[in-house]
Amino acid sequence: MGNDRRPNQLLIVSDEERRNDWLRGRLELPAHQRLMDDGLTFNRYYTHASPCSPSRASLYTGSYVAQHGVANNVSFPTHTALDPDIPTVGSLLNGQGYYSAYLGKFHLTHDEIPDMESFGYRDFRGNDMHYTGSAWSGRFFDPIIAGDAIDWLREHGTRDEPWHLTVALVNP
């Protein structure tokens, strides 16, 4: 009988990405290159919302902005936050027996520390008060987030139940 074990999933999300073809040969990005060489690279991609919160909400819910309602970066009380009743990758995978965790920038609620269990994530390490992505903040926070991911993988990576881990970096 074959191996019926479902694969573990590691989703690395980096904020504020753009096409960098025009920089080829002028800017060395060795970490990006390693991720592209060893991971999955999309060469046909589109976004219907350039601000990061609406794009992130679409990625995590599989919905368009008109469906999930997050039309701006969730920076002010007047901006619509993601409704926890909308299914996310975390809640859908949790329902399928995955242990779902989220590390880093979420930026889809007004809360400094979001209630990630309501979005289907059993573990959360992050702080949206500081991880909102101001210029150069990734130089400080991304190593912390990456370290948290390494710690999480060491602690949970060999568990019997399949896991899904989202690692959301602040800046590339």
Among the listed residues 48, 107, 110, 156, the single catalytic one is 107
Among the listed residues 48, 52, 79, 110, the single catalytic one is 52
Count of positions (residues) in the chain: 172
Q: Pick from 68, 161, 101, 168: which is nearest to 128 by CA?
A: 168
Instruction: Supply 166's token pair.
Output: 């989202």
Cα gap 11→104, rounded to integer Å: 12
Secondary structure, 3-state, 107-137? CCCCCCCCCHHHHCCCEEECCCCCCCCCCCH
Check if 130 is active-site: no
Calculate the CA dihedral of residues 123, 124, 125, 126 and round it to 10 degrees.
180
Distances (CA, A) of 100 to 46, 97, 103, 163: 26, 9, 10, 6
Specify whether the backbone of 104 is left (phi greater than 0), alpha (psi in -120 to 50) or beta. left
Residues annotated catalytic, as ranges: 52, 107
